[in-house]
Structure 1
Amino acid sequence: MKYTTIKNTARKGIPEKLKSLIWLFLLCLSATGFAQNSDSRYRQPLEHTIRKIERIFHIQIKDNKGLLKDKELDYADWRIRYGRPELSLTQVLAPFDLTFFRDSDSVYTIRKFEYPRRSVHVGEERLQYLETLYDDKESWEKRRDSLKTCMYGALWLDKAPDAPGSKPILTGKRVYDGYSVENIALEILPGVYATGSVYKPYPLKGKHPVIVCPNGHFGQGRYRESQQVRCATLARMGAIVADFDLFGWGESRLQFPVGYHQNSIAATIQVLEGMRLLDYLLGLRHADPQRVAVTGGSGGGSHTMFLTALDDRVKVSAPVVMVSSHFSGGCPCESGQPLHLCGDGTNNPEIAAMAAPRPQLVVSDGKDWTHAVPELEFPFIQRTYGFYGAQDRVTNAHFPEEGHDYGKSKRMAVYRFMAKYLDLDLKKVENSTGQIDESACVTEDENTLKVFGDHGEKLPGNALKDIDALYRLFGKENKKTP
């Protein structure tokens, strides 16, 4: 009876209005609890949402590498933007660090996000945007000068110590038909040596053009046959030619193992190697400072563009298989430093255009990221040359059936281009039918091309081998080790 009395009293003591508020509060608690479970977050397998986007926009989305597998996304279908297929894809893929490439108007491929790589249509969008930033020589040069200053800083060149001034280490000279070769180690920073080979016309008389050949990521590095043949042929035509090892490649590995090539400082060192080798070459009494060129393929093509953009001593350039609006180089030695972020975002075609109005040959092919150059990147570069009335000074040699290399046909195009603008003698390398003949060039073995001996036994005692200490030379901290 007591319990009943208390119960009745309690019931009588709660107004009906308050009861309604309590029930509403309990209902809200229930809804809140419901919102915390996965169902009410509209969680869906990512693949389900991708297929829905396919249906809505009547497109095909390929997942060739199984990147959608086992991925689920909160509020997945709510992220779809009707009428905007690419924005819809971006919003559902970005949380997983995925992106897409548009293969055609109705076909897309899902890929992992890569900071240096985009699809062609994204490169086209960037070029269209860049064209809005300048429309005459004055506005372009303002942009160019700003980019140059920024790139110089992005590569830490403004913080580079002076070259030690030590004498270069040179090996014995080998003399062949119309040219000579000697290996060089040049101390570009305290204890840091650039290693390569110098090819000269033989006999050497009078003044000669200088050509620097940055190396690319091709097998065997600068020891490969095609590299030696190119340098030797240009020397036989009358040029003083120098190539050099990539950072952490070739003899550079004696100081910095190949894994260190993946450090961003590789980009800095390789640009600095090109500049300081040029200092040395132009100090030779037979060098003509008014005829200076740079050419390289792949990663060497990147550094051809960088060196030309940053060093006004370069008068002629030929970047090979690397001028692309949608790919800035997948190696830290090309894109590991933020030079492509300069000017609120630039790219290789705009960097190549910084050569204007100096003569430039852009070499491309149909089976790598330069396949669209004739229709996309080349007209963009030519537009900039047009500000100087110099459209005819930039040329595109395109090989639609070829792939990513610095092969014979590409070399032939470069030889004739260099002969035209450096006043080289093609007759010295032509056969009786007027064709350029490389057969007189001697391919040396790897040890013959080394400057520090077969096993590195002649490496100087002051050679720096500490990657962290290398960063400290620039006042920087190494935030990545292999």
Structure 2
Amino acid sequence: MKKRKTAFSGYKFCGLLFALLLSLCVFAQTSDDQFRKPLKEVIAEIQNRFGVAIRYPEELVKDKWVTYADWRFRPLLEETLNNILSSQDLTFAKEGDKRYKLQAYQYHLKTVEEGKEQLAYLSSLYSDEQSWQKRKDSLRTCFWSALRLSKMPARPSSKPIITPLRKFADYTVQNIAIETLPGLYVCGSLYRPLKAKGKLPVILNPDGHFARGRYREDCQYRCAMQAKMGTMAFSYDLFGWEGESILQISPADHRRSLVQSIQVLNTERILDYLLSLKNVDTSRVAITGASGGGSQTMLMTALDKRITLSVPVAMLSSYHSGGCPCESGMGVHLCGGGTNNAEIAAIAAPRPMLVVSDGGDWTQHVPENEFPFLQRIYGFYGKTESVQNAHIPTDKHDYGINKRRAMYAFIARQFGLNTTSVKNAKGEFDEAGVTIEKDNVLKVFGDKGENLPSNAVKGFDNVTKIFNDAVQ
């Protein structure tokens, strides 16, 4: 008995040993250590193999390794780059013939071809007004939820803080601060015709990521011109970027996702205030902005049906969703299984919209890609003429004079405005009659914030808390 037991134990041991050896063999076949290489070494190999130069900051590749490195190579360079860099949350950009740079993965950016493919897919989801309306309503509901504003916070009972009127040729300016949450203020300037008659249209002018914010010349030009044409024009600070909002949070905190929700809430409160004024025509409400202001223009028009006309500038693109969390940080572009700025802009249909694009940024393909997509959706309502594209191939990423002139003409035509006083002898829109004010003159709370209300909250953590309390 003992011998048989010993023999049986020997067989059992051999079986266990075989299983162990087999598992080690399988591990050896699948272990990533065998083909693991430092990312920096792999990049050098790519450069040698394909004869290209690749630049990158050292901290981007430091201490990074690529598993199965050699197995990721492909016959084509860019396919190889995608295959290797995707494992590191990195991407690349072409800088010239055989020159590339590496950069952190940009969640908001696709290729032009990927943008076209998404537009084709989205187009397959609807074929008429009814099917589009279903998609549109679903997206709008998701946007409000993603922004955490499905339940709109209670409005503070405080009255707006308004500075004395400043008079110029044909228009006036007042600075206004509106409390949007307890202790949180949005500041802007309201431009009005000097001699207003009848009900006036309203034009919101959200700001983008430009130096000096809403105080720069091009913003003052367009708001003053809008007023001279017979409208109320309101420009306001991009939260946490420039202006008086940085009295409450640090500019470093502008790149926080919640800023997108606060920016939407600020615009809603501004619109509430302006539409409460007695001499406002609530049937003529426009919004226009460039870059990040263009993102706000598209999103706010999609969210708020009170806006009857929109002019997004230098921003509408199927492959770029906005490079700042204030534009895309709350995930609105993930709604409906994935959307993009072209579809978000299309929610404006059939309300009039002018898309202003240029040859110097991600709007360069609007005439052949995004604009036909918009025309098709406006066609569901029989309103293809209500969406237009002013493409300026020689322009760069800005809200320059060419873009402003296209906007003036579109709004004047749609709202039935008299443009005689703002045109020169050649029939061109002429901004010469606008007075450019110094930055500090456009502030509500004083040059150094000395008049900031005592209840004003400071610090992003405190802003987050009051927002969370308000939306519970």
TM-score (norm 2): 0.88
Q: Is the 8 A contact 1:159 1:475 kept in 2?
A: no
Whether 2:350 is the aligned partner of 1:357: answer yes
1:265-292: CA deviations, max 9, x gaps? Answer: 2111111111111111111111100111
Q: 1:37 to 1:269 in 2, by over 3 A?
A: closer
Question: Which residue does the alignment assign to 2:367?
Answer: 374
Unaligned stretches of 5+ residues in structure 1? 1-12, 478-482
Whether 2:442 is the aligned partner of 1:420: answer no
Question: Which residue does the alignment assign to 2:247?
Answer: 254
Question: Which residue does the alignment assign to 2:427?
Answer: 434
1:430-474: CA deviations, max 9, x gaps? Answer: 122212110110001112111111221211111122422322333
Distance 1:284 1:400 in 2: 40
Question: Which residue does the alignment assign to 2:154?
Answer: 162
Question: Which residue does the alignment assign to 2:54?
Answer: 63
1:2-44: CA deviations, max 9, x gaps? Answer: xxxxxxxxxxx999x97x9699849938965993998972335
Query: 2:147 corresponds to which letter in structure 1?
Result: L
In the TM superposition, residue 393 of structure 1 has moved relative to its aligned partner by 0.9
1:165-199: CA deviations, max 9, x gaps? Answer: 32111111011111000000111111111100000
In the TM superposition, residue 65 of structure 1 has moved relative to its aligned partner by 2.6
Distance 2:32 2:180 in 1: 62
Whether 2:218 is the aligned partner of 1:195: answer no
Q: Is the 8 A contact 1:210 1:292 kept in 2?
A: yes
1:59-83: CA deviations, max 9, x gaps? Answer: 8876343767885422234346x79
TM-score (norm 1): 0.86
Say which is worse superposed, 21-30 or 140-149, in terms of deviation.
Answer: 21-30
Q: 1:166 to 1:26 in 2, by over 3 A?
A: closer
Distance 1:473 1:161 in 2: 10
1:385-412: CA deviations, max 9, x gaps? Answer: 1111111111111111111100011100
1:227 to 207, 219, 233: 219
What's the secondary structure of 2:468's corresponding residue?
Answer: coil
Q: 1:440 to 1:95 in 2, by over 3 A?
A: same
Question: Which residue does the alignment assign to 2:278?
Answer: 285
2:378 to 377, 385, 408: 385
In the TM superposition, residue 147 of structure 1 has moved relative to its aligned partner by 0.5
Unaligned stretches of 5+ residues in structure 2? 1-5
What's the secondary structure of 2:137's corresponding residue?
Answer: helix
Q: 1:49 to 1:14 in 2, by over 3 A?
A: farther
Query: 1:316 corresponds to which letter in structure 2?
Result: L
In the TM superposition, residue 97 of structure 1 has moved relative to its aligned partner by 0.9
Distance 2:140 2:53 in 1: 40
Distance 2:280 2:299 in 1: 22
Say which is worse superposed, 87-96 or 44-53, in terms of deviation.
Answer: 44-53
Whether 2:128 is the aligned partner of 1:136: answer yes
Question: Which residue does the alignment assign to 1:148?
Answer: 140
Q: 1:51 to 1:132 in 2, by over 3 A?
A: farther
Question: Which residue does the alignment assign to 1:3?
Answer: none
Q: Is the 8 A contact 2:32 2:67 kept in 1?
A: no
Query: What does residue range 84-95 of structure 1 map to in structure 2 within 5 Å?
Result: 89-95=81-87
Q: 1:450 to 1:34 in 2, by over 3 A?
A: closer
Q: 1:33 to 1:292 in 2, by over 3 A?
A: closer
Aligned Cα root-mean-square deviation (Å): 3.4
Give the percent of matched residue pairs that are identical in Structure 1 and Structure 2: 51
Q: 1:257 to 1:241 in 2, by over 3 A?
A: same
Query: 1:472 corresponds to which letter in structure 2?
Result: K
Question: Which residue does the alignment assign to 2:119?
Answer: 127
Question: Which residue does the alignment assign to 1:7?
Answer: none
In the TM superposition, residue 427 of structure 1 has moved relative to its aligned partner by 0.7
Distance 1:204 1:400 in 2: 37
Q: 1:434 to 1:207 in 2, by over 3 A?
A: same
